[in-house]
Structure formats: structure tokens, C-alpha cells
Chains A and B, each alone.
Chain A
Amino acid sequence: MRIPCPCCGPRAMAEFSYGGADLSRPVASLPLDAPSAPDAEWNDYVYRRDNPAGAHRELWFHAAGCRRWFVARRDTRTNDFLSEAGA
């Protein structure tokens, strides 16, 4: 699998680390007030995943290259990268 790094171009998968699904974190208000924290939202954020068979927005880290984090869209059925966007 070759991964399109936005900085270095397509490089071998072995150069990258995976960062998981690109998720938006629920808003945490400061100061933190545990009893009023939105449990369901945080629970979803930490544990639940869409896990699609198809287009998946995900984070990659070019560990053995430019060391840049970026977001990519990949088809999880074919490993084809669909588009790329900097993060």
C-alpha cells in the first residue's frame, strides 16, 4: 500500500504510523466539571466508531519521512486513497 503524503508524495506504508479515524472531539468546558460532562458524547468519541466498509477519513503520521500528520480518505475495501487534505 502506498500512502499519498501531502508533503512527500506517495510513499510505502512502512514509513507511516496510523492515527485512527478522524473524529471531532466533544467540547469540554473549563473548568472541568465531571458530573456535568456529556457522558454519552464522550463515550461515543472514545469508544464508538462508524467503521465503514468504504470511504474512511483517517489520520496518518509520516514517521519515517517529513513527520507530518495529515488526514486522508481511503476506501477500506480496496485501500485506494480517495483524496488528501492537510491537517
Chain B
Amino acid sequence: MTGYSALSLARQALTGHRSWPAAWRAPEPRARYQVVIIGGGGHGLATAYYLAKTYGITDVAVLEKGWIGGGNTGRNTAIVRSNYLLTANSHFYEHSLKLWEGLSADLNFNVMFSQRGMVNIAHSNAEVSALHRRGNAMRLNGVDAELLSRDDLGRLMPGLDLSPQARFPILGGLIQKRGGTARHDAVAWGYARAADARGVDIIQNCEVTALRREGDRVTGVETTRGLISADKVAICVAGDSGRLAAMAGLRLPMESHVLQALVSEPVKPMLDVVAVSGALHVYINQSDKGELVMGGDIDGSNSYAQRGDPHTLDHVVESAVALFPAIRRLRMMRSWGGTVDMSMDGSPIITRLPVAGLYLNGGWCYGGFKGTPAAGTALAHLVATDQPHPVATRFTLERFDAGDLLDERGSGSSPWMH
């Protein structure tokens, strides 16, 4: 692998950028690997990278049915934060955020991680109290958090409607200054390039059609490009987790739903933080290209369609306009949907499955993108050692049997409510 640097950039510029080498190989799948990872999104690629880097396991293939980063990795709103209430989630996502802070240097690939600040907006006294509680919980867990007054919010976001006539008047907020955004495609590409450089085979257009088992042990996968044997198989397929689990005869505490997002036409810089209103169900930030990127809730009914209903987008846009009236005449350029893996308590699952050698990473709900580095770390640790990573000990399947849930939102076993 040729390292990327200012020098390499200058050298390539002299020759018109015509001789950059491919960032990763396109190998034919071999008949056998030590570890096969199903799913070439950020999570699968990160898992391969950390298996190679931290545990020295390089006999690894990442199988992707389409192109890498073409699923939820390329469909999210690119927000990174660790402002969680529950201790287990707080520790996990803070571990992730710390990895994000060094990720570009670690991967030698600019993931454009921008710690522009993550602001939660409160519209009622109850919400202000909830943000106090969340902020205190974060600080007790060693995560940065600062309460914001209305005046603070006005200084941070001049476009925010702080008037008492606002549809939902704003009372205060909470900021995590270390939160922000990253370039989501670059995360897939950076992990792919770094994993490939350590010997991992990234195999695109290779869909897994069945799992091979002998007794209670997995022995490989059948794919559209032939049979591939493996000692260990890790499932990292987000919304398709249920389909893969069904191949092993398992039912998961999970449902697949469609989560939509949209972007406006690009405008001059007007918003340099990530703004979230829980009451209005909207999150909004401005990309480096100037587009306003926004999203809201899932549509609510089980879906594998990767597209949703317009009324969900109406709600997102109405909420965004209620916060920032100046954007009301912006045109929306694109909308899209991704299939998210909504777990029954709103928290992820990184676990061994009852079939020996088979592992699952799923149940990410809205939070998969920001969890990418830590999910890769935790799953690599689990696959390499058969022990849960210290920051992911609670993300088991057994918690559902024991009633020991991680219900961050407190909405119970209705996945469409998380």
C-alpha cells in the first residue's frame, strides 16, 4: 500500500493524478479462510481491520453482496456522538468516539471527522430536566457535556427560531462538543484500504445464500461465487440480520425497518453544529458541500424495501423548518431509505450464537454509523478470543432471556418505538 501524504499528493499532482494505485485489490475468493465476515459495510470492514491489526488474524475474507459501503454505511446522516444515558451504552460509544478521534491517522485515510459539536434542543421543562439528567450521567461516565441556555443556543445557531412564537418554543439545550460528523463513504473506504493492506480479501458482488454446518459447528458459507469454507463466520449485515440468522435456524429479538433521510440543495454555511430536537423528531446538520442533511424517525412498519413513505419526510421537513425558518424555501434534492436493524430494547447485540464459530453483530437501530470503530473492535475481539470485549459485555442475546435490557429510551419491546 502506498501511504497517502502531502508529498504523495504533490507527486501525483505533477502527473495529473493519473497514476494513483487502486486503494484495494479485487481478489477471487479462495476456497477457505480462517474467518469469513458477511457484510462489507463499515462494521464488517472495521472488524476485518481490527482482526488483522490487533489480533494478527489476516486470513480473512469480507463478503459483500453489492459494493462496499453501499448499504447503511452510505445511507446514514453521518453523525458521531456518545451522549448516552445508560452506563453500558455510554462506555461503548465513548470508546467509539475516542477511536474516531484518531481514526484518520490510524487508517492513513481522511475520514473527515469534524468535531463540530452535537446539540440537543429542549422545548419543555420536562425536556430540560431530562437533558440535565443526561448531561450529569455523561459527565459521571467521563463524557463531555455542557448545558446550554437559550442565549447560548442563539450564539451557536443564529438561524434557530428562539422566539416565544415558535411552534415549539425552545427553552435550553445540551452540547457534546466532541460530537460531530464524519464522511461516511470514507469510513468504508479507509477501513477497506487498511484491511486490504494487511492481507484481508474484500470480495464484492458475492452474496451469501446459505450457511454450511456440521453438527453444531459452522463450517463455511455458500455464496453466489461458490462455496467458501471457514472456521469462523461473523454476520455484520444490519437490516438483513434476521435473514442470515434464519439460515442458522435462529429467531432474533430484532425487526427490520426503513429509516429515511434527505438533503437540501447546497447553500452557504449556516449551521456548523449537529442540531437535534427529540420532541420534533428531527436531526439536521450541514455537509461540507453546503447541503442540509436531515432525518427523523423510522416509518414504523417492518420493511426491507429501502424506501419509505413521503409523510415521514414531510414530518422531518416541517420539524426542520420549525427550528430554522430561513430554510423553508430550500428545495430538497434527494431522499433515500436504509434498512435498519431495530432491536427489541434499542441497543446493539454483539454476541456468539448457539452455533459454534458463528457470531452476530446487529441490532444497531439508529446508531450503527457512530458505533463503527467500536463495533469492529468488539467483534474482532469476540471472534479472536471468544470473550466479549470489555466495553461490550452487556450487548448479549442472553439479556433478553434474563430481562436485563438496555432500554435507553424506555419504550419496551416495540422496536418501531425506539
A-side interface residues toward B, CB under 8 Å? Answer: 1, 12-14, 17-18, 20-21, 39, 43-44, 46-53, 56, 58, 74, 76-79
17 chain-A/chain-B pairs, Cβ below 8 angstroms = A12-B311, A13-B299, A13-B311, A17-B300, A20-B416, A47-B253, A47-B344, A49-B242, A49-B251, A49-B253, A51-B252, A51-B254, A53-B256, A56-B302, A76-B304, A77-B304, A79-B303
* Pair A49/B309 contact, Cβ less than 8 Å: no
Q: Any chain A CB within 8 A of the CB of B255?
A: yes
* Pair B255/A1 contact, Cβ less than 8 Å: no
* Pair B302/A58 contact, Cβ less than 8 Å: yes
* Pair A51/B301 contact, Cβ less than 8 Å: no
The answer for the CA separation of A50 and B253 in the assembled complex, in Å, is: 9
Given A18-B416, A49-B252, A51-B252, check contact A76 B303 (CB 8 Å).
yes
A13-B311, A47-B344, A51-B242 given; 4 more Cβ-contact pairs under 8 Å: A13-B309, A51-B252, A74-B301, A76-B303
Minimal beta-carbon separation of A32 from chain B (angstroms): 16
Contact of B301 among A50, A52, A58, A78 (CB under 8 A): A58
- CB-defined contacts of B304 to chain A, threshold 8 Å: 53, 76-77
* Pair B400/A47 contact, Cβ less than 8 Å: yes
Q: Any chain A CB within 8 A of the CB of B414?
A: yes
Minimal beta-carbon separation of A76 from chain B (angstroms): 5
B-side interface residues toward A, CB under 8 Å? Answer: 240, 242-243, 246, 251-256, 299-305, 309, 311, 344, 400-401, 413-414, 416
The answer for the CA separation of A58 and B253 in the assembled complex, in Å, is: 17
The answer for the CA separation of A35 and B301 in the assembled complex, in Å, is: 35
- CB-defined contacts of A17 to chain B, threshold 8 Å: 300
* Pair A48/B251 contact, Cβ less than 8 Å: yes
- CB-defined contacts of A77 to chain B, threshold 8 Å: 304-305
Minimal beta-carbon separation of B354 from chain A (angstroms): 13
- CB-defined contacts of A76 to chain B, threshold 8 Å: 256, 302-305
The answer for the CA separation of A74 and B304 in the assembled complex, in Å, is: 11
| Least CB separation from A45: chain B residue | B413
The answer for the CA separation of A49 and B250 in the assembled complex, in Å, is: 10
- CB-defined contacts of B413 to chain A, threshold 8 Å: 46-47
Majority SS at the chain A contact face: mixed
The answer for the CA separation of A14 and B310 in the assembled complex, in Å, is: 9
| Least CB separation from A78: chain B residue | B305
Minimal beta-carbon separation of B179 from chain A (angstroms): 31
Minimal beta-carbon separation of B362 from chain A (angstroms): 11
The answer for the CA separation of A2 and B53 in the assembled complex, in Å, is: 50
The answer for the CA separation of A50 and B245 in the assembled complex, in Å, is: 10
* Pair B243/A53 contact, Cβ less than 8 Å: yes
Minimal beta-carbon separation of A12 from chain B (angstroms): 7
* Pair A44/B251 contact, Cβ less than 8 Å: yes
| Least CB separation from B303: chain A residue | A76
Minimal beta-carbon separation of A69 from chain B (angstroms): 14
The answer for the CA separation of A49 and B241 in the assembled complex, in Å, is: 12
- CB-defined contacts of A56 to chain B, threshold 8 Å: 302
- CB-defined contacts of B414 to chain A, threshold 8 Å: 20
Minimal beta-carbon separation of B128 from chain A (angstroms): 29
Minimal beta-carbon separation of A83 from chain B (angstroms): 16
Given A49-B242, A51-B252, A78-B305, check contact A18 B311 (CB 8 Å).
no
The answer for the CA separation of A74 and B305 in the assembled complex, in Å, is: 12
The answer for the CA separation of A20 and B242 in the assembled complex, in Å, is: 16
* Pair B305/A48 contact, Cβ less than 8 Å: no
Given A21-B302, A43-B401, A53-B243, check contact A1 B252 (CB 8 Å).
no
* Pair B309/A1 contact, Cβ less than 8 Å: yes
* Pair A51/B309 contact, Cβ less than 8 Å: no
Contact of B254 among A12, A49, A52 (CB under 8 A): A49
* Pair B242/A79 contact, Cβ less than 8 Å: no
| Least CB separation from A53: chain B residue | B304
- CB-defined contacts of B246 to chain A, threshold 8 Å: 50
Which 7 A-B residue pairings sit nearest by Cβ, starting from the closest?
A51-B242, A14-B311, A47-B253, A48-B251, A53-B304, A18-B300, A47-B400
The answer for the CA separation of A66 and B256 in the assembled complex, in Å, is: 28
